[in-house]
């Protein structure tokens, strides 16, 4: 090609822009937009769950209760009980146990609160006198200022805890609706869960239905094992700490609120790691107020001993055979769940992770083809 000056210029071979992008950048961009789509979908799901939490949380509680009670219902059916009567008996037993626990705890708190209040007043008076006579040279004004700041901090923390605990609804009416919805959902899942699940599977494309059904059944087996084993672990924690508080009271003139502490530890243990620590701290505070510093230190040792037994014996040997979720995954799941949804998030984090772990593993290994209806954990792929 000739130009005006008579010089000849060679044409430059300009490659297409797409060919000029390095392969590594192509792969990264392909992964990036797919991850963005997945993240957007998860954000939408979490947003819908947050908006419909008054429905979602009772349904999740009902699923856990169903996984706990379905073996009893099936056992009664094998012994020629009608399905409806078996479900009714299981629900009545559950409500009776929960009501009995709360009644026992409330009655014990009502009987032991006056004595604990008087001991708290005496302990505070003794501590105040000690601070006035200590080398710190504190004055009445200093102690009052520090006390007011402590009370204000406790009130703020209490409000945050209560707001998280009542995140199912913003009023007592929402809480009642949630409880009723949990009961009704549990009844219908126990009575007609198989037909409900067939309807859910029917929503998916025909080719995907076997994989969805097999993976979900494997996850359901793991979820049931998790709930039952967690019930055993919670009972052992409650008996251990409650028995320690009772024995401690025998040597130091009576430990109030032993039964409420045991009930609180039992309920708190369903939140892995965090729940047992929080409820154990309450037991130590009660011992400090009622009995003094030395019994509180002993109570702290009892709580730590029970936690060590749970962490090094119960969790590896009992929970490890039921749900193979790494302890680090448990801690991260509880932390993430509590950040996203408060106390309900911490409660449901580990069951959800355990279910997804086994369900995804079942799809990835293709075991749903050879074992589409697992009934025991030994038939579930190693998680």
Please indicate whether residue 185 or residue 18 has the higher confidence score (pLDDT): 185
Rounded mean pLDDT, 335-355: 81
- Determine phi and psi for 244, rounding to 5 degrees: -65, -40
Residue 159: both structure tokens together: 């409000």
Residue 2 phi, psi dihedral angles, 5° rounding = -100, 140
Predicted confidence band at 36 (pLDDT cuts at 50, 70, 90)? very high
Q: What is the mean pLDDT of residues 33-52?
A: 86
Task: Taking the CA atoms of 305, 311, 312 and 316 in sequence, report the sign of the dihedral they define.
Answer: positive
Residues 251, 295: Cα–Cα separation, whole Å = 9
Task: Tell me the C-alpha distance between 190 and 192, whole Å.
Answer: 6
Please report, for the chain, the start and end positions of each structural domain, with discontinuous segments joined by +: 54-203
Per residue in 112-162, pLDDT (tens digit) is 777 777 777 777 777 777 777 777 777 777 777 877 777 777 666 555 555
Residue 124 to residue 289: CA distance in whole angstroms: 8
How far is Cα 26 from Cα 19, in angstroms, rounded to an integer? 10
Residues 202-243 have pLDDT tens digits of 898 888 888 888 888 888 888 888 888 888 888 888 888 888
Q: For residues 230 and 319, is the Cβ–Cβ distance under 8 A?
A: yes
């Amino acid at each position: 090609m000739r130009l005006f000056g008579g010089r000849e210029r060679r044409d430059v071979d300009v490659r297409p822009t797409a060919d000029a992008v390095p392969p590594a950048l192509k792969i990264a961009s392909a992964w990036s937009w797919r991850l963005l789509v997945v993240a957007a979908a998860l954000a939408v799901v979490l947003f819908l769950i947050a908006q419909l939490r008054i429905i979602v949380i009772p349904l999740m509680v009902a699923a856990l209760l169903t996984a706990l009670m379905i073996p009893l219902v099936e056992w009664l059916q094998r012994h020629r009980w009608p399905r409806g009567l078996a479900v009714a008996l299981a629900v009545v037993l559950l409500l009776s146990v929960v009501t009995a626990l709360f009644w026992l705890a409330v009655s014990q708190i009502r009987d032991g609160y006056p004595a604990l209040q008087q001991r708290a007043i005496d302990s505070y008076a003794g501590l105040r006198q000690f601070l006035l006579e200590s080398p710190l040279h504190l004055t009445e004004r200093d102690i009052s200022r520090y006390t007011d700041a402590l009370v204000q901090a406790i009130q703020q923390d209490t409000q945050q805890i209560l707001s998280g605990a009542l995140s199912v609804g913003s009023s007592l009416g929402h809480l009642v609706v949630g409880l009723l919805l949990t009961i009704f959902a549990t009844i219908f899942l126990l009575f007609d869960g198989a037909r409900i699940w067939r309807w859910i599977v029917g929503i998916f494309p025909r080719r995907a239905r076997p994989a969805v059904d097999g993976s979900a059944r494997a996850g359901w087996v793991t979820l049931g094992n998790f709930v039952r084993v967690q019930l055993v672990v919670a009972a052992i924690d409650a008996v251990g700490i409650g028995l320690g508080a009772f024995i401690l009271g025998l040597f130091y003139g009576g430990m109030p609120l032993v039964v409420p502490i045991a009930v609180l530890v039992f309920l708190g243990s369903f939140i892995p790691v965090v729940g047992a620590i929080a409820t154990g701290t309450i037991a130590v505070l009660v011992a400090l107020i009622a009995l003094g510093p030395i019994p509180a230190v002993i109570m702290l040792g009892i709580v730590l001993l029970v936690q060590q037994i749970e962490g090094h014996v119960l969790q590896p040997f009992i929970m490890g055979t039921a749900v193979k979720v790494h302890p680090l995954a448990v801690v991260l799941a509880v932390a993430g769940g509590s950040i996203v949804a408060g106390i309900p998030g911490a409660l449901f984090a580990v069951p959800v992770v355990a279910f997804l772990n086994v369900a995804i593993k079942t799809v990835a290994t293709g075991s749903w083809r050879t074992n589409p209806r697992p009934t025991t954990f030994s038939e579930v792929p190693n998680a």
